[in-house]
Structure 1
Amino acid sequence: MSDQDKNLTQEEQQALMQKYDPESGVRQLSGIVAKIVFFGLLAFSVYQLYFTVVHRLPAQIHRPIHLGFALALIFLLFPATKKLREKGKLSWFDYLLSILGVGVGLYWPLQYDELVVRASSINQTDFYIGILAVILVLEATRRAVGLPITIIAGLFLAYAYWGRQMPGFLKHRGVDLDNLVQSMYFTTEGILGTPLAVSATFIFLFLLFGSFLVQTGVGQYFNDLAVTVAGKRTGGPAKVAIFSSALQGTISGSSVANVVTSGSFTIPMMKKLGYRKEFAGGVEAAASTGGQLMPPIMGAAAFLMIEFIGIDYWTIAKAAAIPAILYFTGIYIMTHFEAKRNGLEGLSDEEMPDKKEVFKRLYLLLPLVAIVIFLASGLSVIMAAFFGILTTILVGLLRPERFRKLYIATFVVGAIGNPVLQMMLDGALPNKLLQSSFVGAAILTILVSYLFDGNFSDTIDALVDGARTALGVVAATAAAGIIVGVVTKTGLGLKLANSLVALANEQILLTLFFTMIAAIILGMGSPTTANYVITSTIAAPAIILLGVQDLPAHLFVFYFGIIADITPPVALAAFAASGVSGGEPIRTGVNAAKLAIAAFIIPYMFVLQPQLLMIDTTFLELIWILFTAVTGMIAIGAGMIGYWYRKTYWIERILAVAGGLALIYPGWQSDAAGLVTFGALIGAQFLFKRDMIGKPVTKAS
């Protein structure tokens, strides 16, 4: 095996993520500063758990503390420039900015009573603190997330202040500096608004849940399970990448991180089997990006929908299930046709893992099953995430090297004893969470395991890694809050929505197309959370104005914000994949976009046919929609790859794509036309055997 076909080392993976993912660009610290950061991250996670389980604080206290933790840690972990990161040393201004971040975070809690009394007015000290908060958020966002979202937030601030000088419909009366500063940091409509609120509750806990999952070894297990399920199939390694990346996406909200971690394992396998470098990278990029579309966890932006639309998370996850399945089905179909075209088989017996050993570890999937059950049961999202963390820790105790019968006995005793204790206390405990037998039993079992094994390191590492992962999200949501605040203050959202509808002449397909372009452009180099905030406040209302329901409209912009990661010319996930495969970045991006063609079609489909999101539909209708959609994806896949049962002629490829689109478009007339085309093409595949280009032979194949 050549050096290029070997799995990447941890150092090489980190280098790639730092190159293509700003949120991974941390400096390597040592000495006392490293310890300060370590305990700061640990304290961040402990505080978030305290807020969740023990004592809920008012929004104006909790959100600034959440922000203050992130600002202080970002300025210590993320350098101002790449050159400073390579040096690994902190400058004096890093310490200063970190201290100022703490001050900004503590200002609200310390001045809470006075600020509430003043309500609609701020004094001079408030004004300077507000200015400082905006500057620190923008600089922290630049360091931890990247320049694009920072520039956008800055432009929105400029628009708010210089509104009187704006041309045409963009003109507004302007917002004076005092009013602007007040709305940005002393209301819950700016930095401390809905995006940061979601980060401070739902997102942080789910990132923590993902971090605990990683500590159980579930990431490697996803790879082993994917190889066991798909490794022997035609073009096996590519299908392994699809399964593995879909599973990895449930614990990671970053397309680039998915590509680098699972791609360092799957891409060398694909290349060894015979896939082209750019195609191998494209498969991994497309599959890894789709991880954010896959329930039950999805990307961080999905949690923002809870607040933006006002529906529960289970409804969102349930609605996203069928589109996500269709997305990965499309990639699967095209990798299959590519493998058939090139005569690529699956992995050999020697390359396959031991099935018995893999299936013995199926218990590692229990936390994901538990999350689905918790969400479906009607439990709040924040409590479902907390229960998921407890479940993950319990599953970690089932590992052979740590398993003790004592833990099972302890859990049973706790499940029985906890309600009894609660009755004895007559509900005196302020924390209603302890009324759950599961939680009481879980906590007791975990405490006993720590006393028996004395192994705290996995839990500590998970708490620290979870907080580190959250830093970029906190910065992005704080910057997104600036954008939302300006949109609210100036009425820009409705103005842009109306202009977009007018530009499209009130045609739904044209409006969707313009919205797609806007979401992709905004998503190039920006985190999904920030992209979704912008498009959901500016572009989604345009779709809703034309009579589309809220959920399809918001999922539409959500989809295109995500697939910007694989859309050239700025396709970060594809560029990261090319770094693993050694392929050409733009070609890798083109392959990824071609493989993910379903993601460019499905959003149109569920806007025009919301039954695909399980909205106002019957079981039989859903079955028919799924049948036509999957059949259409098969035809489109054959047309895109140029192979079905044999290599296809150019006219067959055109007809296959047209027939596939007809099957996907809602309506019985289009379904009928698509099915006729589909049947005719299959007949042609078997009736005409292509011996040479342009010379068919009428002989059954």
Structure 2
Amino acid sequence: MTFPDRQQPVGAKEAAIRDFAEQAEYGQRAKLGVEGLLVGFVALCWSLFQLWFSSPLPYVFNVGIFNDSQARLIHLAFALFLAFAIAPATKRAIDRIPFYDWLIGFGAVAVCLYGLVFYDDLVRRAGQPISLDLLIAGLGILLVLEATRRSMGPFLVAVAVIFLLYSYFGRAMPEVLQHRGASVTRILEHQWLDTQGIFGVPLGASTAFVFVYVLFGTMFNKAGAGHYIMQLSLAFLGHLRGGPAKVAVVSSGLNGLISGSALANVVASGIFTIPLMKRTGMSGIKAGAVETSASINGQIMPPVMGAAAFIMVEYVGIPYADVVRHAFLPAAISYVSLFYIVHLEALKLDIEPMCHQQIRPAKALLLRYGLGISGSLMVLGSIYYLVLGIQLGFGSLAPLVLAAVIGALYLTALSVSARHPDLPPENPDGALAALPQGWEVARSGLHLLIPVIVLVWCLIVIRLSPGLAAFWATVSVMAILVTQEPLKRLLRRERGLAAAFANGCRAVVEGLVLGARNMVGVALATATAGIVVGTVTLTGLGLMMTDAVGLLSGGNIYLVLIFTALVTLILGCGVPTTANYILVASLMAPVIVELGSEAGVAIPLIGVHLFVFYFGIMADSTPPVGLGAYAAAAISGESPIRTAVQASVYGLRTAILAFVLVFNPELLLIGIQSLWHGLAVAVASIAGCLMFAAATLNYWMVRNRWWETVVLLFVSVALIYPAGWLDLLYEKYDALPPSALMREAEAAPADARLVVRFQGTSIEGETVSRLASLRLGPKADGAARLAHSGLHVSTGAEQVRVTQVRFASYAARLRLESGYRITAVYRAAQRPSPGFVYIIALVLLAGVAFSQVQRLQPERRPFPFRRKPEPDPAEESP
């Protein structure tokens, strides 16, 4: 992979940057001749297979039904073939596919098809493999490792090999990590022939969920959504101070809703925004850092979240809609604070708006935007109740009626779009004489909102499975791709309908091919990460890691978190985000929960997983390796290292937020008792992050004095985590006897958490004590709410004991086991409200504000602090 020359002419440099991104995303053989047709055909077949597998069609026609294990074999077969076709073994064979790569590719397919063809035989002789089974398993592991090396470099492969060696040489390990060692036969069987290794949970998530979501994002971008988002952000934000930087933040965040790739996000929007940022006076380093930070944070934006959200579903044991709900507020906080950072940078550098618009009266602006927003909300509300009415009134015919309604909405939105000119093409090097009009841009792409509405409706409202929801959303995008241009020409009474229809069909095929190529790296990363997960289950490494990390940290939960963050950042230098999350989450997430329990802190499992994920994405901007920063530096013409360092400074807010998520579950919308409570938490936490940004930049209204920075840091912590200060003075919980379990479970609010202490004996015969935060779900009796977490208990006269832990449930993820006794139930203690901490923080903030206002220039002061200008004696009448 070659890094683009920053001294190239503008047009050539843009092409080189796109080639660099293609090489990083899809492999170095991004462009092939005739051989590329076969590669494209295979990629097209992969996408069609995944759509078929995710759809209800196999069950409608009773044909082509594959179980999860069979689908994973087919999924990996496609990924291996494409990896050997588009990723060369050496740099010499970039423009062609040598014969040995064809042989290896077809051999990899044969290895996977062996498991598919002889699936029933392998199931019958499970635990007793024959020699051919073991030979195929060994070849399969080697092929997966080689394909991963070609596609993503040697780092992830080295990690997987280390874990394989650990499985075999367990007796030679230090005592704290020692195990009896596994034979070669046992390793091969566990890693390839079982569903706990390569074909385990990570590859299963890639097969069932991730592929179709990546395909949806690719097709949606192909339909023009990325350009629409960019133009919309430019229209509404371009006239502000630091407008291009704010456009980068907002457009990258919206692109993150549909794209899981930070590098693609940097290139797609950075080619346009970075030159505009430099043109307004921002340095190239800061412009590249802003784009890098915005694009990387796009991966924390639900629903895609760099494909990690779907794997979190499997690891945390909660529905996908709950993962999205927990991740939404932290993502919003991170983006609002980044938006504020670029605003402060614009004030520091005294950057003027890029284009001056006619200033309208405030009343007219409020009326215009108020009518637009309220009208949009009314339309969305009407659609919501219309769809609910259709589902209740038409029964089995509801899907057909809904399809007709969606078609009518699409035609209506498209007719509105056809009355406006198409959006201008991107021209990053041309002068921007005037900004596009906001509502005109919005109306020109209203039909592009339909796939998003379909996706959100299927996921959140009717709660379809993630794969099925993405299937319907992808089908809607494909329909738009095929029909939008012909229908626009028809509505505008233009010619060329057949050509427009052909172009739409061609765009669908190109999107299917591109989506499959996007997935090669993700599929191989999840397969190779499965080797690590398989080693953990084979050797019991997870339990040993708890002892080892506890010994190194002395049981200090803060040191454990710092250690986990460092490991995640280091792994992120050479491992893709999704694989990084799988590796660290499988090893460290249970350790953090366990050691937190020993320290008396009930840590939500989703908080730990988001902590790991956040630090994993930050590795993309951390020097010395960070492809996002390298791509942004190539566009800006600055040093990649200095760009990465500046992006890391901007990313400090995400790092602090990740730590807070572990200890403050309210940011995850856990324990929120009312709408007003949720709004108070959201506003206070956003304000806290804004003040943290002002402290780290050493600038708020003016440059900070040292004591102002200290006060702003205190205020930020108080607003983000007010309960932390109360914990220093008051007990957090009141301990109740075990007999109170059912009463407290029934009395708790809907979707609340119940903190319970368990005690029992581990497999090794040691006494364990675990503090767990149980998910109770909707209101019901105590037993039903405990069962929502997968826990069943028996209550006796003297003790309460766990009788059953449902497999793969939330309770199982917390390492609770049958036979454990409940020794205590905890209820929130009566103590002062966090509002007192808010009041103290606001008083201190007011003091800093008053101090800084006095140093502002008179014309820049807020209205209450402005002084009337002194009369000029020369102008006074005698």
The two structures have a TM-score, normalised by structure 2, of 0.71
Q: 2:21 is matched with which residue?
A: 17
- Higher helix content, 1 or 2: 1
Q: 1:90 is matched with which residue?
A: 97
Q: Label 1:356 to 1:326 Cα distance change in 2 as closer, same or farther (>3 A).
A: closer
Match status 1:521 vs 2:570: yes
Quote the Cα distance in structure 1 between the aligned partners of 2:243 and 2:335: 15
Q: 1:481 is matched with which residue?
A: 530
Greater Cα shift, 197-206 or 509-518: 509-518
Quote the Cα distance in structure 1 between the aligned partners of 2:539 and 2:290: 43
Counterpart contact for 2:702–2:855, Cα < 8 Å? no
- Shift of residue 700 of structure 1? 7.2
Percent of aligned positions with the same letter in both sequences?
37
Q: Label 1:454 to 1:562 Cα distance change in 2 as closer, same or farther (>3 A).
A: closer
- Shift of residue 577 of structure 1? 1.2
Match status 1:353 vs 2:353: no
Match status 1:145 vs 2:149: no
- Shift of residue 8 of structure 1? 7.3
Q: Label 1:461 to 1:29 Cα distance change in 2 as closer, same or farther (>3 A).
A: same
> Which amino acid is the alignment partner of residue 515 of structure 2?
G
> Which amino acid is the alignment partner of residue 58 of structure 1?
N
Counterpart contact for 2:481–2:508, Cα < 8 Å? no
Residue-by-residue CA offset, 1:241-291 (whole Å, 9 max, x unaligned): 001111121222111111111111110110111101110011000000011
- Shift of residue 542 of structure 1? 1.7
Q: 1:597 is matched with which residue?
A: 652
Quote the Cα distance in structure 1 between the aligned partners of 2:854 and 2:86: 64
Counterpart contact for 2:481–2:504, Cα < 8 Å? no
Counterpart contact for 2:553–2:559, Cα < 8 Å? yes
Match status 1:112 vs 2:115: no
Match status 1:26 vs 2:14: no
Q: Label 1:232 to 1:285 Cα distance change in 2 as closer, same or farther (>3 A).
A: same
Residue-by-residue CA offset, 1:323-343 (whole Å, 9 max, x unaligned): 001101111111101101111
Counterpart contact for 2:212–2:470, Cα < 8 Å? yes
Counterpart contact for 2:486–2:500, Cα < 8 Å? no
Match status 1:661 vs 2:717: yes
Quote the Cα distance in structure 2 between the aligned partners of 1:363 and 1:60: 38
1:62 to 32, 57, 71: 71
Q: 2:54 is matched with which residue?
A: 52
Residue-by-residue CA offset, 1:465-494 (whole Å, 9 max, x unaligned): 111111111110110111100111011122
Q: Label 1:665 to 1:398 Cα distance change in 2 as closer, same or farther (>3 A).
A: same
- Shift of residue 556 of structure 1? 1.2
Quote the Cα distance in structure 2 between the aligned partners of 1:450 and 1:267: 36
- Shift of residue 4 of structure 1? 8.0
Report matched runs for 1:664-675 at 5 Å: 664-667=720-723, 668=834, 671-675=838-842
Q: Which runs of 5+ in 1 are unaligned?
A: 407-447, 692-697
- Shift of residue 587 of structure 1? 1.6
Q: Label 1:477 to 1:679 Cα distance change in 2 as closer, same or farther (>3 A).
A: same
Quote the Cα distance in structure 1 between the aligned partners of 2:621 and 2:837: 30
Residue-by-residue CA offset, 1:107-160 (whole Å, 9 max, x unaligned): 111111211111112111111110100000001111112221111011111111
Quote the Cα distance in structure 1 between the aligned partners of 2:163 and 2:498: 52
Q: 1:310 is matched with which residue?
A: 317
Counterpart contact for 2:485–2:504, Cα < 8 Å? no
SS in 1 for 2:93: helix
- Shift of residue 632 of structure 1? 1.5
- Shift of residue 569 of structure 1? 3.0
Q: Label 1:455 to 1:341 Cα distance change in 2 as closer, same or farther (>3 A).
A: closer
Quote the Cα distance in structure 2 between the aligned partners of 1:680 and 1:478: 55
RMSD after superposition: 2.5
Aligned residues between the structures: 649
Residue-by-residue CA offset, 1:556-596 (whole Å, 9 max, x unaligned): 11111111112233232112211111122222112112222
1:580 to 627, 635, 658: 635
Residue-by-residue CA offset, 1:38-73 (whole Å, 9 max, x unaligned): 111111111112222233312332111111111111
Quote the Cα distance in structure 2 between the aligned partners of 1:90 and 1:242: 40
SS in 2 for 1:84: coil
Residue-by-residue CA offset, 1:395-445 (whole Å, 9 max, x unaligned): 335635434889xxxxxxxxxxxxxxxxxxxxxxxxxxxxxxxxxxxxxxx
- Shift of residue 221 of structure 1? 1.1
Quote the Cα distance in structure 2 between the aligned partners of 1:509 and 1:27: 45
Counterpart contact for 1:8–1:264, Cα < 8 Å? no
Q: Which runs of 5+ in 2 are unaligned?
A: 1-5, 59-64, 358-432, 492-496, 597-601, 724-833, 859-864, 869-878
2:188 to 148, 160, 181: 181
1:614 to 658, 669, 672: 669
Residue-by-residue CA offset, 1:519-567 (whole Å, 9 max, x unaligned): 2222222111111111111111122112312111111111111111122
> Which amino acid is the alignment partner of residue 105 of structure 1?
C
1:375 to 459, 471, 476: 459
Q: Label 1:136 to 1:225 Cα distance change in 2 as closer, same or farther (>3 A).
A: same
Counterpart contact for 2:29–2:96, Cα < 8 Å? no
2:469 to 376, 380, 384: 384
Residue-by-residue CA offset, 1:3-56 (whole Å, 9 max, x unaligned): 88957766223333256x36443342112x212111111111111122222333
SS in 2 for 1:300: helix
Q: Which has the higher contact order (CA 8 A, sep 6+)?
A: 1
- Shift of residue 657 of structure 1? 2.6
- Shift of residue 163 of structure 1? 0.9
SS in 2 for 1:399: helix
> Which amino acid is the alignment partner of residue 454 of structure 2?
A
- Shift of residue 182 of structure 1? 0.7
- Shift of residue 211 of structure 1? 1.6
Q: 1:623 is matched with which residue?
A: 679
Match status 1:639 vs 2:648: no
The runs of at least 4 aligned residues of structure 1 exceeding 6 Å deviation read 2-5, 448-454, 698-701
> Which amino acid is the alignment partner of residue 121 of structure 2?
E
- Shift of residue 451 of structure 1? 12
Counterpart contact for 1:8–1:580, Cα < 8 Å? no
Match status 1:685 vs 2:852: yes
Quote the Cα distance in structure 1 between the aligned partners of 2:70 and 2:282: 54
Greater Cα shift, 276-285 or 43-52: 43-52
> Which amino acid is the alignment partner of residue 80 of structure 1?
A
